[in-house]
Amino acid sequence: MTTRDAILWNIKCLRFESHNHAIGPIDSIMEVLHTTIKGKLMDTLERFYIYKVTHENIQINDKNTSKPNAIFDTIIREEAIRQLTNQ
């Protein structure tokens, strides 16, 4: 297998390719969600966003096992209601 063939084979097998996630420079495909110092707040925000994308089924990497979380579910539901009422 040539280097070119290996690259093409890897591109076809990448999980994010089949889900149509953006590919490009990080500045144009990513956005800063929050800025904070390291600590419990950052850990909680990270867990929340992992939980959210896992339940929306748009997580790029292997799905982490996420336990039901009533607080995160309430936040997600309230976000959706706020978005509807702000239109």
pLDDT tens digits along 17-47: 444 556 778 777 777 877 888 899 989 988 8
Q: Is the pLDDT score of 3 beyond 70?
A: no
Report d(CA 82, CA 60) in Å as an integer: 27
Element of type H or E holding 7: helix 3-13
**Mean pLDDT of the 45-69 span:** 79
Question: Dihedral (C-alpha) 5, 10, 16, 21: value to the nearest 10 degrees?
Answer: -30
Closest to 50 in 3D by CA, of 41, 60, 40: 60
Query: How many structural domains comprise the chain?
Result: 1
pTM value? 0.58
Confidence label for 68 from pLDDT (cuts 50, 70 and 90): confident
Burial class (CB in 10 A: 0-12, 13-18, 19+), 51: buried
Range of the domain at 76: 3-85
* pLDDT of res. 26: 76
